[in-house]
Amino acid sequence: MDAATLGLLELGGVFFVLGVVGRLAGRIGLSPIPLYLLGGLAFGNGGLISLGDIGDFSDLAADIGVVLLLLLLGLEYSAAELMTGLRRSWFGGVLDVVLNAAPGAGLALLLGWGPVGALVMAGVTYSSSTGIIAKVLLDLGRYGNRETPVVLSILVFEDLAMAVYLPILTAVIGGVSVLGGFEAVGIALLAVSVVLVIALRYGRFVSALVSSPDKETFLLKMLGAALLVAGLAQALQVSAAVGAFLLGIAVSGATARSAAKLLEPLRDLFAAIFFVVFGLNTDIATIPPVLGWALALALVSTVTKIITGVIAARHANVARMGQLRAGTTLVARGEFSIVIAGLAVAAGAVNGELAAMASAYVLIMAILGPVLAKVAEPGARGLQDRVARRRNRRRRARAERLSGTEPDVAETRSGDPGGDGELRAGPGGSSEPAGE
């Protein structure tokens, strides 16, 4: 069988399996990202089946997937919304950096991965998954909740922080000098500033340049512009992903909404390939040795994200239950964490253990995040009700002792819907609630 035929068969099989696992993820209420990663691990080094004839296509498709992910993320915001979100979210954003970059950096240093590994892992644990969180908010009907603007503001802050972090990371993993690193950051900040000014003052001209009444023409112009800007950003030592994100910000209004609707299927296709390729490039045999550390890191970073959301929501005068919802919603990690680890592994700046750690960590967090966001509030309300019932029983018992009357068993049980009002004989023949 010739290489082209084998490549078509392998590629068709991969796409079909991705469709099946995506449907399965939708049925069980999870993000498909962890299943895509598992699929890549199954077809990669040490997996069940080895794919050897679609490497060039899959690598390029994965790069396009990153560009489209960030482009459509940028299309969700206007420059004015980004500036407003930045002003509102600075407190929660700074707290987010401090609390959630530290666990990854600390673990990397503990495992001997050096400063470069620490920088990479700091980004892996810092960034929440915008895609997973957006789906969680939609599925749970929380778009109109009081805490949702706090969550979105923190995500916007993270996106802007990535515009600074990714050029630094690119410079460091590329072996650029300290001066070169500062130069890359300066270029990134200048690019961000220029794009924001263009988007605020001349966004309508950018939108007019890529817009077209014909869908085919519009798609070609928008996709071509995204790849051109991403390539130019890469040439300037700024991440291609950041370039695509900035282009998305510059396109606004009806043009942005139409572009997002038109590009969504392409984004989903190429983004799925990106996650699969990351799994393909990870040797599954390297995961069991780091699984324990990945679980420990997941536990610590879950707590730090919840603390971030709770404090940020409290700072915005959100009620307690809303604070809990904000914290648990932010737990999920996903696309950015994989992008960061993927950049470092592709550049050969870190060892395979870090890629295995990132894969295991994202798998855990991508599953845990949506589940925790769904069950945390009902669980907290149930615990709250149980504590309130116990407190009420204690108050009644104390009041009855002070009044010198003997509590009535039937009344006590009828006032205790939880069925925990069974009495037992106490000293001197008095009766006290059992288990108190």
Q: For position 289, what pLDDT does the model report?
A: 87
Give the 3-state secondary structure of residue 54. Answer: coil
In a domain, 12, yes or no: no
Amino acid letter, 308: T
Cβ neighbours of residue 418 closer than 8 Å, sequence gap 6 or more: 386, 389
Which of 275 and 91 is assigned the larger pLDDT? 91
Within 10 Å of residue 345's Cβ, how many Cβ atoms?
21
**What amino acid occupies position 219?**
L
The DSSP code for 1 is -
Residue whose tokens read 């789906």: 135
Query: Is 401 a domain residue?
Result: no
Range of the domain at 64: 18-383
- Per residue in 323-372, pLDDT (tens digit) is 999 999 999 887 678 778 877 777 676 777 888 888 889 888 888 888 89
In a domain, 416, yes or no: no
Higher pLDDT, 393 or 239: 393
The radius of gyration computed from the CA coordinates of the chain, to the nearest angstrom, equals: 26
Mean pLDDT of the chain: 79
The answer to which of 7-11, 158-162, 351-355, 422-426 has the lowest mean pLDDT is 422-426
**Domains in the chain: how many in total?**
1
| pLDDT attached to residue 310 | 94
Domain-located, residue 337: yes
Whole-structure pTM over 0.75, yes or no? no
d(CA 412, CA 420): 9
Q: Residue 334 maps to which CATH number?
A: 1.20.1530.20
For residue 424, the surrounding DSSP H or E stretch is strand 423-425
The pLDDT value given to residue 102: 95
Look at residue 33 and tell me whether its pLDDT is greater than 80. no
In a domain, 24, yes or no: yes
DSSP 8-state code for residue 331: T
In a domain, 410, yes or no: no
3-state secondary structure of 364: helix
Looking at the domain assignment, is residue 10 inside a domain?
no
Residue 433 lies in a domain: no
pLDDT at position 329: 92
